[in-house]
Amino acid sequence: MPISPPDHMEEFEEKPAEESTDSPEEGYTPDPRGPRPLPAPGEELEEPEEEEEEDELGPETPVPKLAVLQDAMAWAFEGETVEDGVLDIFARHALMVLERNRELNLTAIVEPREVAAKHYLDSWRTCRLIPLFGRRVLDLGSGAGFPGLPMAVGEDDTRVILCESRKKKAAFLQEAVDELGLSNASVVAERAEDHLNTVEVDIVVARAISSVRENVRTLRKVKHRLKDYVMLKGANWSREVRSGEREAERLGFHLNTVLEHELPGEMGKRAVLVYRAPGGAGL
């Protein structure tokens, strides 16, 4: 359900910003570049040097049969209105993710129902909570394809760019897009902030990449190349918003809407934060 940010944030207005203690959403590896320090007044934040791609292995991953993943998707999406064939595509992609997980370290979540709810349902619901029809979306740090790939499957009139700087994972994403026949999704093997120097998009979406504060810093030099910045967060989203509020406002990002929903099987609450970028009209 939507929450009006001004009303919800009243209790935070007199409190100083604090460092978030939230860890990234489960199933993802934090940005290896680490947090970036605040610049001194009047100075620009320096870009970190590029690091060699790591070959860290993922967890030992039992690979279920496709039918098990199809059943898990049916369980997670019970009661949802889903077009024919969507859950089968999700199950096929999930199988690809789990088959390659040990090699590419794509996810820490490997139990079929958790995969279905925490990755696919969480990502897909973004299509139902915010208007995506006809929009151009960039998925920042797509990893295994979340949330961008389920969004592309769920809204085929949306153009989705899966942006992943780690070349092995980008290659996996291209394999998935080709195998699943997703004509409205494309893969770019570079950092989102670099790619946005060459294109403009309606929405940038980020899930389990970093904190609100770090997310807005990442796009500070290309903030006029997007209209809205959508961040998928967990139950402690309000703490992150409070911690990053000052930096977001300084850079011209304004929290426009908060949409909450709950995953099945007591897997927790989730929130979709919609920040209006400088010059954006808001969703």
- Classify residue 176: in a domain, yes or no: yes
User: Can you list the alpha helix ranges (DSSP code H) found in the chain?
Assistant: 5-8, 66-76, 86-104, 112-114, 122-129, 148-154, 167-180, 192-195, 212-218, 237-250
pLDDT value of residue 57 = 78
In single-letter form, the type of residue at position 61 comes to T
- Classify residue 9: in a domain, yes or no: yes
The pTM score is: 0.81
- Classify residue 137: in a domain, yes or no: yes
- Classify residue 7: in a domain, yes or no: yes
The DSSP bridge partners found for residue 213 are none
pLDDT value of residue 37 = 52
The DSSP bridge partners found for residue 159 are 136
Surface-to-core class of residue 261, CB atoms within 10 Å of its CB (0-12 exposed, 13-18 middle, 19+ buried): middle
- Classify residue 93: in a domain, yes or no: no
- Classify residue 115: in a domain, yes or no: no
One digit per residue, the tens of pLDDT, for the chain of length 283 reads: 554 454 444 333 333 434 443 444 444 444 444 445 555 544 444 544 444 455 577 888 899 999 999 999 999 999 999 999 999 999 999 999 999 999 999 999 999 999 999 999 999 999 999 999 999 999 999 999 999 999 999 999 999 999 999 999 999 999 999 999 999 999 999 999 999 999 999 999 999 889 999 999 999 999 999 999 999 999 999 999 999 999 999 999 999 999 999 999 999 999 999 999 997 766 6
- Classify residue 43: in a domain, yes or no: no
pLDDT value of residue 38 = 52
- Classify residue 202: in a domain, yes or no: yes
CA distance 155 to 129: 12
**CA distances in angstroms from 243 to 78, 117, 246, listed in the order given:** 36, 28, 7
CATH number (domain holding residue 169): 3.40.50.150
Q: 74 near 121, Cβ under 8 Å?
A: no
Cα angle for residues 73, 77, 79 (degrees, 5° grid): 150
Domain of 245, in residue numbers: 2-19+131-276
Domain tally for the chain?
Answer: 1
CA distance 127 to 118: 15
